[in-house]
Amino acid sequence: MRHSTCLASDRFDPALELSTFLGQLSDEGGIVSFVGVARPTTRGGSPVERLFLDHHPRLTGRSLEEVAGAAGDRFDVSALRVVHRFGEVAPGEAIVFVAAASAHRRAAFEAADYVMDRLKTDAVFWKREDAVDGSHWIEPTDSDRAERARWSE
Amino acid sequence: MKILFFGRLGDMVGRETHVEVPPETRTVADLRQLLAQLHPAASEDLSRPSLRACVNDLIVGENYVVADSETVEFFPPLSGG
């Protein structure tokens, strides 16, 4: 399984990521991609000025590699790509991109789903939402932990 | 001893701080108490069980004995994706 990860300091184009990923494939029959985008409002409805993703100089990149590698070990996928922003992210910009390719669709769907659930709780980032009415640090919700636990068995 | 704080604690205390560690401060748990005294505004965050300590890029437990030459990093709960 080929996988590559990128810790991105600047905005990236998810469409370009997907087209590059597709260009590297050969005979896969199923390709799944996911894009996570910074929301323009908080859960309470206040406009968000920016997200700030704090990260660790070594462990963040390593955690992306670990999650991508684990997905490759677990699912029958032939290629996987993970891109994750750090630093300041404006509303509407992509935070995360995941693409998975496999001979048949199921493994690609599952691998992308698995990577996203793991990133929410295991990737080494700390996310702060700066809204017009103040800033707050986001922590994994019970629902994030439950999604992550689906893959524990 | 060099201490690094990430996430919310980084905002509250600053990314990097240096502390003089008295001889009775031996473990991560002791260090948390010392830091909580030095930074009362962050004492609640410093005592949360979900806050983890990291030395040499590995998560360590509360009983880990820290050497003065080591850098201890404190990680609040992670939130990526």
ipTM value, please give it.
Answer: 0.94
**Stretch (H or E) spanning B3:** strand B2-5
Does B10 contact A54 at a Cβ distance shorter than 8 Å?
Answer: yes
Does B81 contact A138 at a Cβ distance shorter than 8 Å?
Answer: no
Residue A142 above 80 pLDDT?
yes
Residue to mutate among A82, A125, A126, with most B CBs inside 10 A, is A126
Average pLDDT of the residues in A48-59: 97
Residue-wise pLDDT for A60-70, tens only, equals 999 999 999 99
Please name the residues in contact with A135: beta carbons below 8 A apart, sequence gap of 6 or more. A128, A129, B11
pLDDT value at residue A153? 61
| Nearest chain B residue to A64, by CA | B80
How confident is the prediction for chain A on average, in pLDDT? 96
Residue-wise pLDDT for A5-46, tens only, equals 999 999 999 999 999 999 999 999 999 999 999 999 998 999
- Measure the CA–CA gap between A111 and A93, rounded to whole angstroms: 23
Residue with tokens 């709960």: B77
For A2-149, CATH gives: 3.90.1170.40
Question: What's the whole-model pTM score?
Answer: 0.94
Which sequence spans correspond to the domains of chain A? 2-149
Q: Which residues pair with A33 in a beta bridge?
A: A99
Give the closest-approach CA distance of A122 to chain B in angstroms. Answer: 6
pLDDT value at residue B81? 87
Residue-wise pLDDT for B35-80, tens only, equals 999 999 999 999 999 999 999 999 999 999 999 999 999 999 999 8
Tell whether the torsion through CA atoms of A37, A43, A44 and A45 is positive or negative.
positive
Does A126 contact B78 at a Cβ distance shorter than 8 Å?
Answer: yes
Chain A residues touching residue B11 (CB < 8 angstroms): 128, 135, 137
Residue-wise pLDDT for B5-45, tens only, equals 999 999 999 999 999 999 999 999 999 999 999 999 999 99
**What Å distances lie between residue A110 and A75, A78, A119, B11, CA to CA?**
7, 13, 14, 37
pLDDT value at residue A144? 87
Average pLDDT of the residues in A86-90: 98
Instruction: Give the one of A58, A120, A128 whose C-beta lies nearest to B81's C-beta.
Output: A120
Q: Which residues pair with A127 in a beta bridge?
A: A53, A138
Which sequence spans correspond to the domains of chain B? 2-59
Does B81 contact A56 at a Cβ distance shorter than 8 Å?
Answer: no
- Name the A residues in 117-136 with CB < 8 Å from any B CB: 119-128, 135
| Nearest chain A residue to B59, by CA | A59
